[in-house]
């Protein structure tokens, strides 16, 4: 389905509001695309993202409720409470996104709209990340649940204060499709390296313990964000501020009037739900199905790195020769088709062959995964360009990223509940019951396939044209060449 142009209908009051925003258009603060130094700093920030989230997503539930039958691992919460704890944190994460997005877009400081959030928000983020791994009671206790919910809620608030402005920097310092793909490569490399380092937590946990690992990761993530805050130069300064909740709601409403944004957000939400579930299952899969210790989770990601990283550097040239929607659709489909094989591996009788099959599967998943990190920033950039030209006249990178984050994180908050429900229905989580884990393969594959269909069938091929006599327009990419001839 393709829209040649996106047309909105607003009532008279809303049109007046949009006209006022156009009159208060944001002013450029610095010219030019991002530098290599800024690109490297942005990649370092992506490493910080992974270090502050991968360990929590992979080991959080496992730490509070390990598989039953392990005498050397402490159980702090029941399976249901452990899942509920993560749900509460993710809900807080989702609620905070649009608030921080609007706050950042309309901030006026001598340091800019983004940098103060990144610099100062990373401090409580690191502290609460560390405190999460120090429950007050040894053994199952309701006090541990209260502690975990409070700490993880503050952590996600602080993380949002950092990540929403960080994400808003991408379409701000890279203004063309090619430039955004290049910065997307920096981001993707940082995410891949951070993912590998995040999964290194398995080795570190086995060697120095989970709490020492958490301290190391929390402090390192904070340093990574400090590098971004003190290196990347902002390109715009805001000239307006919101004075009422009504205006805030109007701003959010304008985001969801963009059909491309709605489709993209829905697809990312559905696909991300399945993808996030797989990350949570890996420790259980490693220990119960492959009969390996925590440190083997890190080893699983070595073939992933060997395929994903080289593929990342090929993406800009692939997009330059083709269509980024097609590339992204193929990538989503590839991941959706590979995930069900996770459930097949458990039926291989030879344990060594199970391990080999797992390594091959992870290596294959690394190829489409490169686009999952590198390409979305370019889509968000187009939506931001449209917003500036047609709706508000402002650079609202943060609110677009935050509105998408709100929807995605709301869905992702359901993933621990889905995992716990599947485990319960399949007989519980234990060393003697691998089928509960294996069932997650086809379940996550089906979820991701639905996300692929939503994106492939309904996302329009759009290109923002800036050289019109009017403020701008959006046309299908396939018509761009013909338009230039005219």
Helices (H), 256-295: 259-284
How many other CB atoms are found less than 10 A from the CB of residue 280?
A: 23
Would you state the pLDDT for residue 129? 96
CB-based contacts of 321: which residues, under 8 Å, 6+ apart? none
Would you state the pLDDT for residue 38? 94
Domain contains 17: no
Number of domains the chain contains: 1
Domain contains 137: yes
How far apart are the C-alpha atoms of 184 and 199, rounded to whole Å? 22
For the chain, 486 residues long, give each residue's pLDDT as a single digit of tens.
Answer: 333 333 333 444 444 544 444 444 554 554 567 899 999 999 999 999 989 888 887 788 889 988 765 556 788 998 888 878 877 887 777 778 777 887 887 788 888 888 999 999 999 999 999 999 999 999 889 999 999 999 999 999 999 999 989 988 888 888 787 888 889 889 888 988 888 888 778 788 888 989 999 999 999 999 999 999 999 988 766 555 554 556 666 777 777 777 888 899 889 888 888 877 877 788 888 888 888 887 787 788 788 888 988 898 888 888 777 778 888 999 999 999 999 998 899 889 899 999 999 999 989 998 888 888 888 888 888 877 877 777 667 777 777 777 777 777 777 777 777 888 888 888 877 777 788 888 888 999 999 999 999 999 998 766 654 433 333 333 434 333 433 443
DSSP state of 238: -
Would you state the pLDDT for residue 330? 93
Would you state the pLDDT for residue 31? 55
Can you tell me whether residue 72 is helix, strand or coil?
A: coil
Would you state the pLDDT for residue 245? 55
Would you state the pLDDT for residue 281? 84
CB-based contacts of 245: which residues, under 8 Å, 6+ apart? none
CB 467 within 8 A of CB 484: no
Domain contains 38: yes
Would you state the pLDDT for residue 248? 61
Q: How far is CA 6 from the centre of its chain?
A: 27
CB-based contacts of 338: which residues, under 8 Å, 6+ apart? 361, 364, 365, 368, 445
The residue ranges of DSSP E strands in 218-257, in sequence order, are 236-237
Would you state the pLDDT for residue 413? 72
Would you state the pLDDT for residue 216? 95
This prediction has a pTM of 0.69
How far apart are the C-alpha atoms of 322 and 400, rounded to whole Å? 26
| Domain range enclosing 421 | 29-481
Domain contains 11: no
CA atoms within 13 A on the CB side of 85: 29
How far apart are the C-alpha atoms of 45 and 340, rounded to whole Å? 32
Would you state the pLDDT for residue 283? 80
Calculate Rg over the CA atoms of the chain.
22
Domain contains 160: yes
Domain contains 179: yes
Domain contains 5: no
Domain contains 7: no
How far apart are the C-alpha atoms of 287 and 87, rounded to whole Å? 24
Q: Which two tokens stand for residue 364?
A: 């294959």
CB-based contacts of 425: which residues, under 8 Å, 6+ apart? none
Ramachandran assignment for 139, one of left (phi > 0), alpha (psi -120 to 50 degrees), beta (any other): left
Would you state the pLDDT for residue 247? 65
Q: Residue 251 is part of a domain; what is its CATH number?
A: 1.20.1250.20
CB 329 within 8 A of CB 456: yes
């Amino acid at each position: 389905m393709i829209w040649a142009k996106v047309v909105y209908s607003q009532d008279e009051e809303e049109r007046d509001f949009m006209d006022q925003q156009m009159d208060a258009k944001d002013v450029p603060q610095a010219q030019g695309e991002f530098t290599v130094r800024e690109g490297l700093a942005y990649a370092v920030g992506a490493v910080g993202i992974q270090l502050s989230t991968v360990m929590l997503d992979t080991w959080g539930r496992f730490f509070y409720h390990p598989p039953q039958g392990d005498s050397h691992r402490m159980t702090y919460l029941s399976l249901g409470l452990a899942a509920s704890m993560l749900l509460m944190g993710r809900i807080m994460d989702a609620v905070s996104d649009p608030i921080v997005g609007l706050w950042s877009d309309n901030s006026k400081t001598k340091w800019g709209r983004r940098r103060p959030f990144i610099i100062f928000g990373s401090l409580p983020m690191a502290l609460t990340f560390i405190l999460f791994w120090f429950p007050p009671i040894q053994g199952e206790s309701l006090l541990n649940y209260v502690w975990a919910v409070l700490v993880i809620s503050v952590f996600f608030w602080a993380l949002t204060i950092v990540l929403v402005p960080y994400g808003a920097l991408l379409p701000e310092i890279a203004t063309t499709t090619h430039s955004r793909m290049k910065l997307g490569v920096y981001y993707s490399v940082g995410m891949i390296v951070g993912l590998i380092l995040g999964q290194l937590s398995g080795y570190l946990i086995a060697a120095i313990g989970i709490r020492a690992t958490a301290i190391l990761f929390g402090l390192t993530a904070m340093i990574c964000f400090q590098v971004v805050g003190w290196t990347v130069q902002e390109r715009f300064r805001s000239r307006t501020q919101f004075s009422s909740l009504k205006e805030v709601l109007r701003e959010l409403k304008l985001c969801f009037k963009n059909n491309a944004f709605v489709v993209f957000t829905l697809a990312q939400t559905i696909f991300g739900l399945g993808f996030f579930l797989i990350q949570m299952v890996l420790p259980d899969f490693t220990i119960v199905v492959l009969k390996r210790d925590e440190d083997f989770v890190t080893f699983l990601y070595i073939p992933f790195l060997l395929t994903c990283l080289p593929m990342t550097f090929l993406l800009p040239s692939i997009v330059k020769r083709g269509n980024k929607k097609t590339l992204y659709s193929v990538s989503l489909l590839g991941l959706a088709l590979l995930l069900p094989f996770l459930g097949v591996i458990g039926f291989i009788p030879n344990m060594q062959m199970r391990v080999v099959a797992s390594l091959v599967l992870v290596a294959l998943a690394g190829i489409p995964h490169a686009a999952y990190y590198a390409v979305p920033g370019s889509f968000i950039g187009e939506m931001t360009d449209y917003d500036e030209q047609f709706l508000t006249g402002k650079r609202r990178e943060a609110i677009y990223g935050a509105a998408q984050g709100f929807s995605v994180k709301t869905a992702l908050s359901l993933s621990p509940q889905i995992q716990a429900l599947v485990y319960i229905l399949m007989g519980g989580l234990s060393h003697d019951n691998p089928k509960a884990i294996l069932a997650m393969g086809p379940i996550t594959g089906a979820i991701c396939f639905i996300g692929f269909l939503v994106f492939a069938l309904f996302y329009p091929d759009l290109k923002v044209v800036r050289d019109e006599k009017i403020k701008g327009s959006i046309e299908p990419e396939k018509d761009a060449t013909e338009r230039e001839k005219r």
